[in-house]
Structure 1
Amino acid sequence: MDTVMGIPVHMDYEGQRLAERLFHIIILSFGAAGWLYGYHVQDFFKTILMLGGGSVLACLVTLPPWPIYRRSPLKWVPVQEQPSAPTETVSSKKKKK
């Protein structure tokens, strides 16, 4: 299942790595900026608000499978036909005994 209502719902491995890296960068940036701002105004609630805003932004940027996360699809090897082994029938097994 690659699409739901015509919308692609997959990411490739490189896209997953990029999404995770962006998520970490956004969360850490907003966390550090929120801590500095909260320290400056002496209000811990402002720190939590900035971190929450960064979390929402990070989710909006990284959770949907945007086209930027589907740039390196895997090249799958085509299925090859295996030669079928000769099958013995029940009657041929009885004759051997």
Structure 2
Amino acid sequence: MPALQELVEGRIDFNGQKKADDIVRVVLITSTLLSFVVGFTLSSLKITLSTFALSTVALSLVVLPPWPMFNKHPVKWLPSQEHNPKSKG
């Protein structure tokens, strides 16, 4: 079970999240416009939807896996401190 969790977890840093978000925003807007133009030019709703679906699948392959480019600036957490609850008296 831990191996499966490691495979699915996909850790990326905050800069990687911003980069992935920027990529998603640009590609979705571009692919929407491109799909509309291609579909309108060819007068085919089927081509419009298939072009958009293909670009969405390609986008998913780019941003969903935790590629190393999304984890170039890993977060350095502070070391944990032991907490000893002692009553003051």
Q: Which residue of 1 aligns with 2:16?
A: 15
Point out 4+ residue stretches in structure 1 off by more than 6 angstroms: none
Q: Describe the SS at the equivalent of 2:74.
A: coil
Partner letter of residue 28 of structure 1?
Answer: I
Q: TM-score, normalised by structure 2?
A: 0.79
* RMSD over aligned Cα atoms: 2.5
More strand by share: 1
Q: Describe the SS at the equivalent of 2:34.
A: helix
Q: CA deviation at 1:44?
A: 1.4
Q: Which residue of 2 aligns with 1:33?
A: 34
Q: CA deviation at 1:86?
A: 5.1
Task: Give the Cα separation in 1 of the matches to 2:37 and 2:75.
Answer: 43
Q: Describe the SS at the equivalent of 2:81.
A: coil
More helix by share: 2
Identity of aligned residues (%): 24
Q: TM-score, normalised by structure 1?
A: 0.73
**How is 1:1-97 mapped onto 2 (pairs within 5 angstroms)?**
3-4=6-7, 9-82=10-83, 85=86
Gaps in structure 1 of 5+ consecutive residues: 89-97
Q: Describe the SS at the equivalent of 2:16.
A: helix
**Deviations 1:39-85 (Å, cap 9, x if unpaired)?**
11111111111100110011000000000000111111112345652
Structure of higher RCO (CA pairs closer than 8 Å, 6+ residues apart): 2
